Amino acid sequence: MAPEPRSVGLLFIYCISFFFGLPANLLALRAFVGRVRQPHPAPVHILLLSLTVADLLLLLLLPFKMIEAAYDFLWPLGNALCALTAYGFYSGIYCSTWLLAGISIERYRSVAFPVQYKLSRRPLYGVIAALVSGILSFGHCSIVIIVQYLPTHNVSDAESLPVCYENFTKEQLDVVLPVRLELCLVLFFIPMAVTTFCYWRFVHIMLSRPQVGTKKRWRAVGLAAVTLFNFLVCFGPYNVSHVVGFFQKSSQNWRACAVLFSALNACIDPLIFYFSSAAARRAFDRELRRLQTWGASLSAEWRKAREAAAKKGKASAGMVNDSFTGE
C-alpha cells in the first residue's frame, strides 16, 4: 500500500532537516570544541556546545522517524528501539529549551552588568547549567520509557505492525497527560518567558547604545528573532498539543505534524550559533568560501568540457564534409 500524502510530506521534510541540519551542526561542533579547549572559555560557549550536542542527538534519531513516516506511522523496529528512539528524540527537544534560556541569560548579563559578568565568567557555571538542563529534560522524558512498558500498552492488532508512543489506553493516558502538561510548563513556558525577557532587555540595551556598531546591533536583533522563532514556531505547536490533550483527555492526532516543527529546530539553531559566536561565524564563512571555490572550479571544468566537446564536434563535421567533397 502506498504511503498517505501526509506521511510523504513529513518524510520529505524530515529528510531536508537531516541533510541540512547535520552538516551545519557538525561544523558548529568542531568550532565550539576548538573554542572550549582554549584557555578560559566563556560559559556561553559551553552552553552553545551543549546545544549543538542536543541537536545532533535529535538529528541522529531522525532516520528512525523517517522509517516511521515511510510506514504510515507504524513501527517496524521493535518495542525496545521505539522506547529508546522516542526517549532520546523528545529529550533532545526539551534539552534545547533551557539551553536557549541559559544563552539568553548570558547575553543579557553581558550587556546589562558587564563588570559583574566579566568577574563571574567561569566555565564551571556553563557546565552546571548544561548539566541541570540535561537532568531536567532526560529525567522528565523518562515517562516515554515508563509508558511504553506499562502492562496495558496497546497495539493495533495481532497481525499488523504496532505504533510507537501512540494509541494509548485509558490507564496510559492517566499517566501521560498530566506529565505532558508539566513538561509544557516546566520545559517550555518557563524557559520561553525567561528567554523573552532577557532578549527584550538585551536588544533594548544594544540599540540604545550609540557606541555599538551596526553589525553588532543586527546580530543582536537576529539572535533574538531566531531564538523566539524557535520557541513559537518550532516548539510551540508541539507543546500546545500537550495543553489541548490534557483538557480534552486524549492524545491529539495532529501531534505528528507538531513534532515535525520541533525537528526543524535543529536546522534553525545554526543561525543562533552564527549570531552568538565569532568562532562559529569564522567556521561557517570559511566553509562557505570553500563551497564557492569548489562551485567555481566545477563550473570552469564544465565550461572546458563543453568547449572541448564543441571543438570535437566541429572537427568531426569538417572530416565528414571533406570526405563527402572527395567522393
Per-residue confidence (pLDDT) for residue 14, from 0 to 100: 87
Extract the C-alpha cell encoding 163. 505504533
Contact, 86 vs 164, CB < 8 A? yes
Cα angle for residues 300, 282, 38 (degrees, 5° grid): 140
Query: To 10 degrees, the CA torsion angle through 319, 320, 325, 327?
Result: 110
Per-residue confidence (pLDDT) for residue 9, from 0 to 100: 80
* Residue 98, pLDDT above cutoff 80: yes
Compute the distance between CA of residue 248 and CA of residue 78 in angstroms, rounded to an integer: 30
For domain 5-276, the CATH architecture is Up-down Bundle (1.20)
Per-residue confidence (pLDDT) for residue 150, from 0 to 100: 67
* Residue 309, pLDDT above cutoff 90: no
- DSSP code of residue 158: S
pLDDT by residue (tens digit) across 48-91? 999 999 999 999 999 998 888 888 888 888 888 888 898 999 99
202: closest CA among 107, 272, 277, 115?
A: 107
56: closest CA among 263, 194, 317?
A: 263
Per-residue confidence (pLDDT) for residue 259, from 0 to 100: 85
Compute the distance between CA of residue 169 and CA of residue 287 in angstroms, rounded to an integer: 50
Residue position matching grid coordinates 557546565: 127
pLDDT by residue (tens digit) across 136-189? 999 988 888 888 776 554 444 445 567 887 777 788 888 888 988 999 999 999
What's the whole-number mean pLDDT along residues 109-128? 88
**Secondary structure element (H or E) that encloses residue 58, with its range:** helix 43-70
pLDDT by residue (tens digit) across 287-303? 888 877 877 777 777 87
- DSSP code of residue 314: H
**Secondary structure element (H or E) that encloses residue 234, with its range:** none
pLDDT by residue (tens digit) across 6-31? 778 888 888 888 988 999 999 999 99
Per-residue confidence (pLDDT) for residue 224, from 0 to 100: 94
Extract the C-alpha cell encoding 213. 556598531
* Residue 307, pLDDT above cutoff 80: no
Q: Report the predicted TM-score, pTM, of the whole model to 2 decimal places.
A: 0.85
* Residue 126, pLDDT above cutoff 50: yes
